[in-house]
């Protein structure tokens, strides 16, 4: 029996996931959470095989929650869930320790396949992502500018691109404003930006 935790702040998404999994005799939903801050306490107190984790949570970034989970219970598999296309986030989340990445527009049977494969083989790679990785290897992988960033720098990049101020970003990521400004300086240096408007244009153009 696969014991599964759902972490997503949207009620309809959680209800849809539970409805999809209700008839699967080998999968049991043991809990649902809306905040990333609640995840660590949950897994410390309950047996869990897999977490379906939204990458965009209201209080914490899913990548940070993922890393905390792997530090506390490395044997728990984490399947990242997102509205963002695989090409933008999948490789980054897998490098951070996720068992797989699935978008919210996928068919229910694909989700069930991803859950079973994540638990049984430790890794779920969709056919589309597999083809993309193969093409990158064949053509010689050309890294995009944002792929040079650390996970934290990438989070700050996306938040600046969404119009957040340094103060708002500091609150969102539980950082000091000076630390946020340091990350911002590193982003500008690594990506050769000369203005915030240039950064925002890049984020929008790349659907980040």
Whether the pLDDT of residue 121 is over 70: the answer is: yes
pLDDT at 96 > cutoff 70: yes
CB atoms within 10 A of CB 27: 19
Give the phi and the psi of residue 34 in degrees, each rounded to 5. -110, -15
- Whether 62 shows a pLDDT value over 80: the answer reads yes
Q: Is there a contact between 33 and 42 (Cβ–Cβ < 8 Å)?
A: yes
Chain position carrying tokens 């043991």: 30
Query: pLDDT tens digits for 7-18?
Result: 999 999 999 999
In this model, does residue 23 exceed pLDDT 60? yes
Which residues, in sequence order, are CB contacts of 112 under 8 Å at separation 6+?
20, 21, 24, 27
The domain 145-205: what is its CATH number?
A: 1.10.10.10
Of the pLDDT bands very low, low, confident and very high (cuts 50, 70, 90), residue 31 is: very high
CA distance 103 to 155: 19
Domain ranges for the chain, please list them: 2-136, 145-205
Give me the mean pLDDT over the 75-94 stretch.
84
Mean pLDDT value of segment 91-105: 87
Percent residues over pLDDT 70 in the chain: 93
State the Cα–Cα distance between residues 123 and 127, nearest whole angstrom: 13
Does 143 have pLDDT greater than 70?
A: no
Mean pLDDT of 141-154: 76
CATH number for the segment(s) 2-136: 3.40.50.2300
Long-range contacts of 160-169 (CB under 8 A, 24+ apart): 160/184, 160/187, 160/196, 160/199, 160/200, 160/203, 161/199, 161/200, 161/202, 161/203, 161/204, 161/208, 162/203, 163/200
What is the arithmetic mean of pLDDT over 79-93? 81
Q: How many CB atoms sit inside 10 A of residue 109's CB?
A: 9
Q: Mean pLDDT over residues 139-152, rounded?
A: 72
Q: Report DSSP state, residue 84.
A: S
97 is written with which tokens?
């320790």
> Which pLDDT score, from 0 to 100, does residue 12 have?
93
User: Which pLDDT value is given to residue 75?
Assistant: 93
Q: What is the mean pLDDT of the chain?
A: 87
pLDDT tens for each residue of 160-178:
988 888 888 888 888 888 8
Tokens at 146, concatenated: 């944002």
């Amino acid at each position: 029996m696969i014991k599964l935790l759902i972490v997503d702040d949207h009620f309809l998404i959680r209800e849809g996931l539970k409805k999809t999994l209700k008839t699967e005799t080998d999968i049991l939903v043991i809990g649902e959470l809306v905040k990333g801050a609640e995840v660590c306490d949950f897994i410390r107190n309950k047996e869990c095989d897999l977490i379906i984790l939204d990458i965009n949570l209201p209080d914490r970034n899913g990548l940070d929650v993922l890393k905390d989970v792997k530090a506390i219970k490395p044997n728990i598999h984490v399947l990242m869930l997102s509205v963002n296309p695989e090409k933008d986030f999948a490789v980054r989340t897998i490098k951070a320790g996720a068992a797989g990445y699935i978008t919210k527009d996928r068919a229910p049977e694909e989700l069930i396949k991803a859950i079973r494969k994540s638990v049984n083989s430790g890794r779920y790679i969709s056919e589309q992502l597999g083809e993309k990785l193969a093409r990158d290897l064949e053509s010689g992988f050309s890294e995009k500018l944002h792929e040079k960033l650390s996970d934290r720098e990438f989070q700050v990049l996306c938040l600046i691109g969404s119009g957040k101020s340094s103060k708002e970003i500091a609150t969102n990521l539980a950082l000091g404003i000076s630390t946020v400004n340091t990350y911002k300086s590193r982003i500008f240096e690594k990506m050769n930006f000369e203005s915030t408007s240039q950064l925002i244009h890049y984020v929008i153009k790349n659907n980040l």
